[in-house]
Every structure is written in structure tokens, then in C-alpha cells.
Structure 1
Amino acid sequence: MSDLAGRVAVVTGGAAGIGRAVVARFVAEGARVVVGDLDPERGAEAVAGLGAAAVFQTTDVSDPEQVEALVQRATTDFGGLHIMVNNAGISGRMHKSILHDDLADFHRVLGVNLLGVMAGTRHAARHMAEHGGGSIINLSSIGGIQAGGGVQTYRASKAAVIHYTHSAAIELAQFDIRVNCLAPGNIPTSLLSSSGSGMSDAAREKFTRLAREAMQNDRPLRRDGTPEDVAEAAVYLASERARYVTGTVLPIDGGTRAGKPLAKQFDKAAAR
């Protein structure tokens, strides 16, 4: 039997990247999915091949009223809501250092990455609390766990998602609502290159390539991660297999959070 047969899900940011992979995997597992995204063209494309199992609604998650309408779409079109995936997210603009950061993108980044998660959790939980519970999955990032230079507003927003997930898990457990968090790392999507907005095309391409190389060098597993790897984890957390799992943060990062690759450690020791 499919893990999500008969379930209804909402996935924000579902038109591309990780969100799109989650939508496709959920439908393959038997779920019906409402996809929210700010891009109507890519959103329509994302659901085009999924038949009656998926519908799209243009949504800006930084507006709680639009998030509420997205949740209502699930109950209206599919008769309920069992799974909420708060995936929509944007990056901040890369600056030379904190000293050069004008904080101009603060409200937009926090509005999408944090307020969107909070609104999605609240509206989904209001329905779930009265209908037997459910699973809420929030997307953070390895950047929300592991400190580092650059895009500090983005890192702060993703760290806040983790703390909010823990708090919501405690509060909503009484309603049999599980709240968990996925923290992807070095997954090839357009998010990284978007932090180079304002650069020339050539500079942005070089920045993206060098950043990915640096992340790969810090990752114990040699294979690259994919949006589908994250989608597999989302299926697990959404399913009854994870019925005793709440308040967790699952890094999907090839071991980056665990530590440096062994070869790198040997290289440093040899250089001493």
C-alpha cells in the first residue's frame, strides 16, 4: 500500500526545486496535493502531468490570508487536510560582510521564510486539531543549524524555523499533530544563485560554482544530493511510519553537519 493513500497535502513553494519534487513524490504515494507558489506559470506546469491529484493556487506565503486561502482550497477541493509542507523559501542577497549588509531584504526574507512557516503551521493546525491530527513539515536549511559567513538574514530565518518547529511540536502534540523539520544542505536548486542577485551573469555563475565546490569539499558523502532525496524524507515524516516522531530536525546534507571528510582531516594533520 502507498504510504500516503487517501491523504490530502498542501505544499508551498511547490512549483520548482525541492517543493516540486515533494509534490510529485506525494502524488506517487497516493496523496492529493494543493500546490502553492508565487509563480503561476511554473505552478501550472508542475501540476499539469499529475491529473486530478494536484491543483495549483498562486500564493504569497508572506501574506497569512493567502496561506489561509490555500489551506481552505485543500478542504474545499479534496475534503480535508492531513499534511502541510511549509517549503517556500528565498535567499538573501550576498554581501562582502555584515559590515556591508544594508538589511534591505530583511522583511521580505523573514516574511517568506519565517512568517510563511508560522502562518502555514497555524492555519493547517486549526483544521487538523478538529479532525484527528496530522503532520506538519517545515523546511529549514543546514544554514539554520551550522553557522557560517554570508547571507546572514537567510541563516537567521532558517534557524528561527527550527526553534519555531520545536515550540509548535510541543504545543500541538495534544492534538496528535506532529511537527518536524527538514534541513537540506547542498541540494542543487536555484536558491543559491539567487543570492548573487546584483552580480553580473558571469560573476554569479562563478560565485555559484565556487560555493558548490566549497560545500562539496566539506561533505563526507561524495554523491550529490537531489530534491528527490529531500522528498523521500518528507514522505517518511508525512506517513504513519513516523507516527511517534515529532519535534525533530533531520539534516539531509550528505553528512556535512556531522563533520569534515576524513581525507581533509588527514591532510590537515599531515601539514602540521
Structure 2
Amino acid sequence: MTEDLAGLVAVVTGGASGIGGAIVERFAAEGAKVVIADLDKERGTELAARLGSSALFEEVDVSDPDRIERLVARAVEAFGGLHVMCNNAGISGSMHKDFLHDDLADFHRVLGVNLLGTMAGTRHAARHMSEHGGGSIINLSSVGGIQAGGGVQSYRASKAAVIHFTKSAAIELAQFGIRVNCIAPGNIPTPLLSSAAATMSPELAERFTRTMRESMEADRPLRVEGKPEDVAEAAVYLACERARYVTGTVLAIDGGTVAGKPLRPRRKKPVEG
């Protein structure tokens, strides 16, 4: 590790597990003090305990802007400042047979967590950063926010909105030395996909998850499976001084998925002679 984040204080929402957990661990390894914000108290507390004095856990529902305000205040109080805000918390919403059968019952919850939570996290972090020399805000979108497709339409809409919001906030907050960037992961094994099948029977949910994973692999040009740690690597870059000239960008960590369909492997011609 290079300790790129030595002396910095970071908040990671949805930081108890999955991509958020990987970001928390990598931030701490790079020298940052990290506030883990999540609804999963058990995992969040366990992770904070494992990281020792480098981390603390706060139970937070990011869809409540007032709670986000207190979260930022807690980071400043506990560690003396806030330099990096990573708005990672997100939910997928329920999977339906097709959009015609989508009752939109989870629309407000999905938008509340994925979009409102990101906007509130950006706003409250920026209020502190604007008076203390700037900082880096990293918002987590998805390849589903870049590339159109069927299923979980509320989720796709929320993640597309995160991208447009990120670019708009980057323009407005640049005057304060605040960089705002977006990471769009794709085909990363996390519990998020399984949560989309929460209303299905165990057998159907297992088959659904397996089928989706196989489909994602088939759509990925790079023959390498992505890991949460790959996203964490990108988050470290966007958080540190090496990215001082980078703002308003969307970095896809997806094995080339949004670039286009993979080519079929060429058959080797038999050697003549």
C-alpha cells in the first residue's frame, strides 16, 4: 500500500459489506480514518472493530437527509474533518416479470436511497468541504445507469440520475476546490443482485441469480471477473491527490461491458506443411 490517503478523513455509506466494505478496507489501508455508515449494524460494527482506531460505525438510513447531516458532523467531531465522501449506499428494487407488471411500489424507496441519499451526502459533505479547503466526493452509479436494458427500471433510472447529478455538482462545486466524480461498476459479485430476487422462492432466486451472472459474463469483453476490490482501487484514485485534475467524470469498472459486445474467439487455422 502507498498510503495515498494518509491524514484524510472519509465517510463511506453502505460501507458494511460488498463494494462499500472493500472501499472502507482499502481507504483504511491507505492511511485514512473512515466512518462506516450503514443500516447493517452487525456487519458494520464488526468491520469497524477489525479496523481498530482507523474506523467507527454509524447506523444510518441515507434516505433521511437530516441523518446524513448528523453523519457528516459525527465524522468531523470524531476525526477532526472530512476530506472524502463516498456515496456508495444503494438498493436494487424488486425484480418483476416485465415492466408491465411492475407496480412501482418500491419507487420512492429506491430513489430515496440511490438518488436522494447521494444528493444529500454530496450537499452536506460539500458544505463542510467548501469552508475547509475542498475535498473529493465519489458517487456510486452503475453500468445500468449508462446502458439501457430491461428489468429494475426504478434502479436504472436512479443510477442514470446519479450520473447527471454528479456532473452538475462537479460544475457547481469546482469553485470551492471540491471534485465530484462517479464510479459505475458492472458485473461485480455483491449481495445487491440477490436482493432483487428477495420476493422469489429460494429455488427461483438461485436460478435467477445464476442466470443473470452467466448473462453478465457473456456480455463482458474482458475475460476477467470483476471484484469489489477493483472498485475500491478506483475509489482510492479518485479520492487522492493524484486525481487533482479529475472532476465530473464517470469511470466504468466493468470489464468493457458498456464499450460493446465481446467478439467471438477466432479459430486458429491449422498449420500447413
Q: Scaled by the length of structure 1, what TM-score is found?
A: 0.96
The aligned counterpart of 2:161 is 160
Q: CA deviation at 1:46?
A: 1.4
Q: CA deviation at 1:11?
A: 0.3
Q: CA deviation at 1:120?
A: 0.2
Q: CA deviation at 1:47?
A: 1.1
The aligned counterpart of 2:10 is 9
Question: 2:258 is paired with a residue of what secondary structure?
Answer: coil
Provide the rounded CA distance (Å) in 2 between the counterparts of 1:203 and 1:228.
29
The aligned counterpart of 1:122 is 123
| Structure 2 residue ranges without an equivalent (≥5) | 268-273
Q: CA deviation at 1:104?
A: 0.2
The letter for the 2-side match of 1:223 is: V
Provide the rounded CA distance (Å) in 1 between the counterparts of 2:21 and 2:69.
21
Question: 2:120 is paired with a residue of what secondary structure?
Answer: helix
The letter for the 2-side match of 1:228 is: E
After TM superposition, what 4+ stretches of structure 1 lie above 3 angstroms from structure 2? none
The aligned counterpart of 1:78 is 79
Provide the rounded CA distance (Å) in 2 between the counterparts of 1:97 and 1:2.
47
RMSD in angstroms over aligned alpha carbons?
1.1
What whole-Å deviation, never above 9, does each CA across 1:225-256 have from its counterpart, x for those lacking one? Answer: 00000000000000000000000000000000
The aligned counterpart of 1:179 is 180
Provide the rounded CA distance (Å) in 2 between the counterparts of 1:42 and 1:79.
25
The letter for the 2-side match of 1:167 is: S
The aligned counterpart of 2:271 is none
Q: How many residues align?
A: 266
The aligned counterpart of 1:112 is 113
The letter for the 2-side match of 1:129 is: S
Asked whether 1:249 is paired with 2:250, we answer: yes
Q: CA deviation at 1:197?
A: 1.7
Asked whether 1:34 is paired with 2:32, we answer: no
Matches within 5 A, 1:18-97: 18-97=19-98
Q: CA deviation at 1:193?
A: 1.0
The aligned counterpart of 1:270 is none
Q: CA deviation at 1:98?
A: 1.1
The aligned counterpart of 1:136 is 137
The aligned counterpart of 2:222 is 221
Q: CA deviation at 1:213?
A: 0.3
The letter for the 1-side match of 2:175 is: Q
What whole-Å deviation, never above 9, does each CA across 1:113-146 have from its counterpart, x for those lacking one? Answer: 0000000000000000000000000000000000
Provide the rounded CA distance (Å) in 1 between the counterparts of 2:196 and 2:238.
29
Provide the rounded CA distance (Å) in 2 between the counterparts of 1:6 and 1:137.
18
Provide the rounded CA distance (Å) in 1 between the counterparts of 2:174 and 2:244.
11
The letter for the 2-side match of 1:86 is: N
Identical aligned residues as a percent: 74
Provide the rounded CA distance (Å) in 1 between the counterparts of 2:45 and 2:223.
35
Provide the rounded CA distance (Å) in 2 between the counterparts of 1:17 and 1:33.
16
The letter for the 2-side match of 1:134 is: G
The letter for the 2-side match of 1:70 is: L
Question: 2:124 is paired with a residue of what secondary structure?
Answer: helix
Q: CA deviation at 1:161?
A: 0.2
Provide the rounded CA distance (Å) in 1 between the counterparts of 2:207 and 2:129.
46
Q: CA deviation at 1:42?
A: 1.0
